Amino acid sequence: GPSGRSRGPAGGFGPELNFGIGIHQALGSPNTRVAVIKRTRGGTSLHTDWFPGGNATTTGDGPDYQAFQTTVTNAVVSLAARYPGATIQLEGMIWHQGEADAGSDTNANAYQTNLTNFIADIRATYGSGLKFGIAQLSNNQTDLNATRLATVKAAQAAVANASPLNYLVVTDDLPMGGSSGIHFGTAGNLTIGSRLAAGGAIDLRPEGQIFPEREEMLEARAALAHSLAAAGRRDLIPDFP
């Protein structure tokens, strides 16, 4: 589009492909299903499009963040309807973004604060125990201003180190796609997905729960029930054991 935002080609994929495969393998049970809920749009900024309003509602949230929450709610409704006997829990989120914020000094300098607040908003909405994986920008993204790129990369690393529930995936060793100076190709996306899965799988337990502590489990279930109720589908709220 005129703003530089774009949609990927139909049938395309990103890191979520190998991420889902890796998490399922780490769970070690063929009876455990892993659902990946994806929301993406190219050229969007955390500063504006994904801006967090600061609470468990959509008030003050950027347009893409609002659309993301709608996507999650609709996906949870769909999963509950398709698998009525299943226990559905939201366990974590992966984040592959930052190029647009490296496009201006204002956005780059605010990135650490905005990402910190975004993750806090995500956990207020979906549960305080959610893991959050960050795919760091790469020095190979040579179309980006080097100074602002370094600022955003440093912000991503600082946020990842701020909580044991956050983790960082480094991408400096991965090639771009073709002649691109900003977009990863197939090999890069697959590797990023595998690395995100490895980070997200660290706390997996044999019983297939990422966060088995009861308090965090109850919070995740409450968030799920809230999403279903907000969608007018209280009939799909499961009877948790």
Residue linked to tokens 């960050």: 134
Q: Is 67 helix (H, G, I), strand (E, B) or coil?
A: helix
pLDDT for the residue numbered 4: 39
pLDDT in tens, 17-27: 999 989 888 88
Largest CA distance in the chain: 53
pLDDT for the residue numbered 141: 97
pLDDT for the residue numbered 11: 57
pLDDT for the residue numbered 127: 92
pLDDT in tens, 36-54: 999 999 999 999 999 999 9
Element of type H or E holding 169: strand 166-169
Q: Which residues pair with 6 in a beta bridge?
A: 42
Task: Select from 208, 196, 175 the least CA-distant residue to 20.
Answer: 196
Q: Is 135 helix (H, G, I), strand (E, B) or coil?
A: strand
In 8-145, alpha helices (H): 16-27, 63-82, 105-109, 111-126
pLDDT for the residue numbered 204: 55
Instruction: Determine if residue 197 is left, alpha or beta; phi over 0 gives left, psi from -120 to 50 gives alpha, anything else beta.
Output: alpha
pLDDT for the residue numbered 224: 59
Cα–Cα dist 112/101, whole Å: 11
Tell me what percent of the residues of the chain surpass a pLDDT of 90.
63
pLDDT for the residue numbered 99: 97
Residue ranges for the chain with pLDDT beneath 50:
1-8, 205-217, 240-241
pLDDT for the residue numbered 65: 97
In the chain, alpha helices (H): 16-27, 63-82, 105-109, 111-126, 146-161, 186-200, 214-230
Q: Is 117 helix (H, G, I), strand (E, B) or coil?
A: helix
Residue linked to tokens 């398709």: 82
Question: How many C-beta atoms lie closer than 10 Å to residue 208's C-beta?
Answer: 14
pLDDT for the residue numbered 30: 73
pLDDT in tens, 87-126: 888 999 999 999 999 999 999 999 999 999 999 999 999 9
pTM assigned to the model: 0.81
